Amino acid sequence: MKAHFSSGFSLLGLAIVLMLASCGVSKKAHEERLYLQGIDSSLVEKILFQEPRIQKNDLLTILIYSDSREATEIYNQPQNGGSAGAAGANMAGQTLSALGRGYQVDVYGNIFIHQGGQIYVEGKTRQEVAAVIVEKLKEYLKNPYVVVRFANRRVTVLGEVNKPGVIELPDQQMTILQAIGLSGDLTVYGKRDNILVIREENNVRTSGRLNIRDPHIYASPFFYLKQNDVVYIEPTRRKTAGNEAIFVRNVSIIASVISVVTVAISLLTR
């Protein structure tokens, strides 16, 4: 009878150990999924965002206004053309976009504006290009006003997110956290401490790694995304070997079975 009691006690102890182990695994898994760990309201860092610069092959939407609506209609009518660098081309390098007429920046970094001629825009901000166009059109329009927008700014998010794909960037900044949010957040398998960002600027490819568990991520030049960035979320090694949720479930089942057996042994040995 003592042997039966000892066996039941051992099984109960094993069940407790397994349950504690499962709790430990769950706690560790929870901590690994936390973003910006250790962030404090006293943490102040300078924002590193810079106005995006226009690159070759960018598609720009340019809307032109003035005191005379009739005079500006010719500038804002959708038209198609040939190469933006061709001399004498009529509205060259233009295609249609969802926001209106589009101006494709050619391989030389130029666009062509009706009555404004060829304009070099590569490396300039939208405001700088708008100012140049205004100066060129003052001869033809009264109080011209120009709005320049990007029509093809996008980033690609791949890997362990719930909705991988292409995200359209707004005219202003987008952070890596916003991109992850628009992608449905990371899956439980996604690495939070080693996110890869691939960037191409001025025919040079660079890459950076981000740790979204670290509150100092704001200081990274890759925290704010730029057009054509590719974000890749690597899977953790646990994905191929089985994840903690399965482990916890199996441990719970085993612990439950052991508890039932322990109770049964205790009843039989009374």
Tens digit of pLDDT for each residue in 109-130?
A: 999 988 888 999 998 999 999 9
pLDDT for 265 equals 65
- Measured in degrees and rounded to the nearest 5, phi and psi for residue 101 equal -70, 140
What is the helix (H) or strand (E) element at residue 15, kind and residue range?
helix 2-32
Q: Which two tokens stand for residue 36?
A: 């910006």
CB atoms within 10 A of CB 142: 11
pLDDT for 108 equals 92
Do β-strands 224-225 and 204-210 pair in parallel, antiparallel, or remain unpaired?
Answer: unpaired
Question: In angstroms, rounded to a whole number, what is the distance separating the alpha carbons of residues 217 and 176?
Answer: 10
* Mean pLDDT across the chain: 75
What pLDDT digit, counting tens, does each position of 207-247 carry? 999 998 888 888 888 999 988 899 999 998 765 444 555 66
Local structure of residue 135 (DSSP, 8 states): H
Class of domain 59-150: alpha beta
pLDDT for 215 equals 81
pLDDT for 246 equals 63
Question: In angstroms, rounded to a whole number, what is the distance separating the alpha carbons of residues 76 and 64?
Answer: 7
Instruction: Say whether pTM exceeds 0.75.
Output: no
Residue 161 binned pLDDT confidence (cut-offs 50, 70, 90):
very high
Indicate if 59-150 has the same CATH topology as 32-50+153-239.
Answer: no
The CATH T-level fold of domain 32-50+153-239 is Outer membrane lipoprotein wza fold like (3.10.560)
Residues 215-233 as b/e (b if ≥16 CB within 10 A, e otherwise) read bebbebebbbbbbbbebbb
Q: Domain ranges in the chain? A: 2-26+242-268, 32-50+153-239, 59-150
What pLDDT digit, counting tens, does each position of 49-93 carry? 678 888 888 889 899 999 888 888 888 766 444 333 333 333 333
In the block, residue with structure tokens 């991520």: 217
